[in-house]
């Protein structure tokens, strides 16, 4: 399960319904044009926390049907509703997803024993593997090296999507857990994370910038740091422009400009103004 995984975007129509045709086009663009190693399905980038259980299942089904076995698939099933998480874990496993992932439980101030029970409850209910999704700046959940070690005592928990800026912790994890998978979660820090020895990366902007991500990742692995840094600089200029204009909406407009029916974002996310759509088209010209 190593390599570059796109955090898959989902196409919705203006009423917020899944646009199956558009979703399939996004999938094909990632597989055929971006040539990523896999897809991370129903994460934050897919607007997962604003959709129903049945809609999540439909996205899992469509993605697997479109991809077949062309690339690796990771199903993000995390939810503060553990019953839903287990239901989704069983569904994705039955579909043939190669691994599961689950965001740390959020909103309520869960203690570590509750977090540990959450992960064990999900993964022990299915015959599959689990990748922890650690994203403290959105969940408020910060875990220590020793706490990750406790989670990894369950052999079915095979790694972590590390979306945090604590690169000291990242380095300590890489040294301490050489046999666990560590994926970088911040696209703008891909070079730094690769130098520290991550096994891959899972990124939102890979939907449109997968080619440059591949260049950064492979050049850094080859020790060609200056070349990789130059591409990271360009990538971060583009990421800054996208963030300033509206992250998910702008990524979808860029995909539309590339001929992909990327649709709209779910409410309460707003639509871009005509001025911001024009900016998104200008940004699109800078992507490979």
Sequence ranges of the binding site: 44-45, 163, 185, 187-188, 204
Q: Strands 99-103 and 130-134, how do they pair?
A: parallel
Residue 175: CB atoms within 10 A of its CB come to 11
Indicate the DSSP class of residue 205.
Answer: T
Cα 1 to its chain centre, rounded Å, is 14
C-alpha span between 167 and 189 (Å, rounded): 10
Nearest to 207 by CA among 162, 161, 239: 239
Active site residue 180: no
Active site residue 133: yes
Which position among 29, 40, 97, 133 bears the catalytic label?
133
C-alpha span between 193 and 191 (Å, rounded): 5
Indicate the DSSP class of residue 160.
Answer: E
Which position among 64, 116, 129, 161 bears the catalytic label?
161
**Contact indicator for 74, 38 with CB cutoff of 8 Å:** yes
C-alpha span between 91 and 44 (Å, rounded): 19
| Token pair of 247 as six digits | 């992250």
Q: How far apart are the first and last CA of the chain?
A: 26
Residues known to be catalytic:
133, 161
């Amino acid at each position: 399960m190593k390599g570059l995984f796109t955090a898959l975007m989902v196409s919705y129509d203006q009423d917020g319904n899944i646009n199956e045709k558009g979703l399939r086009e996004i999938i094909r663009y990632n597989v055929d044009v971006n040539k990523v190693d896999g897809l991370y399905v129903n994460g934050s980038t897919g607007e997962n926390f604003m959709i129903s259980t049945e809609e999540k299942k439909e996205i899992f089904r469509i993605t697997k049907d479109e991809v077949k076995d062309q690339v690796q698939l990771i199903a993000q099933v995390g939810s503060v509703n553990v019953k839903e998480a287990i239901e989704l874990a069983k569904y994705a496993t039955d579909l043939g997803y190669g691994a599961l992932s689950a965001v740390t439980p959020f909103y309520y101030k869960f203690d570590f024993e509750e977090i540990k029970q959450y992960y064990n409850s999900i993964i022990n209910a299915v015959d599959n593997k689990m990748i922890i999704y650690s994203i403290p700046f959105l969940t408020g959940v910060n875990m220590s090296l020793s706490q990750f070690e406790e989670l990894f005592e369950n052999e079915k928990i095979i790694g972590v999507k590390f979306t945090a800026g604590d690169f000291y912790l990242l380095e300590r994890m890489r040294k301490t857990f050489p046999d666990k998978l560590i994926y970088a979660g911040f696209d703008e820090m891909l070079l730094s994370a690769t130098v520290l020895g991550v096994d891959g990366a899972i990124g939102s902007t890979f939907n449109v910038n997968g080619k440059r991500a591949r260049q950064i990742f492979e050049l850094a692995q080859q020790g060609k740091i200056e070349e990789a840094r130059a591409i990271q600089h360009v990538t971060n200029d583009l990421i800054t422009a996208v963030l300033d204009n509206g992250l998910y909406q702008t990524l979808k407009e860029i995909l539309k400009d590339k001929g992909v029916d990327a649709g709209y974002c779910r409410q309460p996310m707003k639509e871009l103004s005509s001025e911001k759509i024009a900016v998104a088209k200008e940004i699109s010209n800078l992507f490979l």
